[in-house]
Amino acid sequence: MVALDRLSPLPLWAQICDDLRSRIADREFEDRFPAEEVLARMYGVSRQTVRQSIRSLEQEGLIVRERGRGTKLAPNSIVEQSLHSFYSMATTVSAQGFAERSEVVRCERQGVTPEVESYLGNLAEGVIYIERIRFAGDEPIGWDRSWLPWEMASKLMDVDLSTGGLYDALNLHCGVVITGGSEKIQPIIPNSDERGRLGISEDVGVFLINRLARSGNAVIEWRRSLVRGDRFALVANWPGSVEL
């Protein structure tokens, strides 16, 4: 049995939800989600309490209940991104078993606006602007807008960017290797246009990610991404020697 804190102000059904979310994130129930009676015995609660937990998880989109077939994990589960190093969305999505692809909305040469100049500097030849809707499976997960120096990345105009990572294409076709960078991540409430592009409802938040990618000391890309909060999670791992 899983011990619950019966003196906690957090209701038992909510404690069960927390435990089941953790187990789902660890892929414990990929083959089969436990039946109500099994969960009731596991947590030492009534089936009514279990049903309340299951209803909550279903509303969150983590599980699906089908009449006559029981309960199973929702096919569109969370994409988890570790924060320990520089990462590629394409690699992360593929590594977690989702079909990765991008819809290229725009790929064009542009002049340098004051905002772009603040990140990339004064580029006389302008920039290449690449706008993509990123998919994990059949659903959009993110909206990327990237600005790169035209003189370094112009060959990307002739490259198929519908699959794979932008940095792989940059290395292969332009001879530019991304060696590091930084990004700022913050949760925001999307506007109606942003919700439409990501296919989300008004009650779903998003992560705003501002990234600067470098090759040596040169800034190669400024990227502004919006990533769905209901399909994406950021995970940080600390070494065991950390003292609190």
Total of domains in the chain = 2
- On the question of pLDDT at 182 being above 80, the answer is yes
In the chain, the amino acid numbered 244 is: L
CATH of the domain at 219: 3.40.1410.10
Give the residue with greater pLDDT, 214 vs 59. 214
The pLDDT value recorded for residue 77 is 61
Instruction: Tally the residues of the chain.
Output: 244
Q: Are residues 55 and 88 in the same domain?
A: no
Say if 1 falls within a structural domain: no
pLDDT, mean of residues 108-131? 96
Q: CB neighbours of 10 closer than 8 A, spacing ≥ 6? A: none
Q: Are 133 and 226 in contact (CB under 8 A)?
A: no
What is the residue type of 43?
Answer: Y
Say yes or no: 60 and 120 in one domain: no
pLDDT over 80 at 176, yes or no: yes
pLDDT band at 84 (very low <50, low <70, confident <90, very high): low
Residue with tokens 């509303």: 59
Domain ranges, residue 28: 12-73
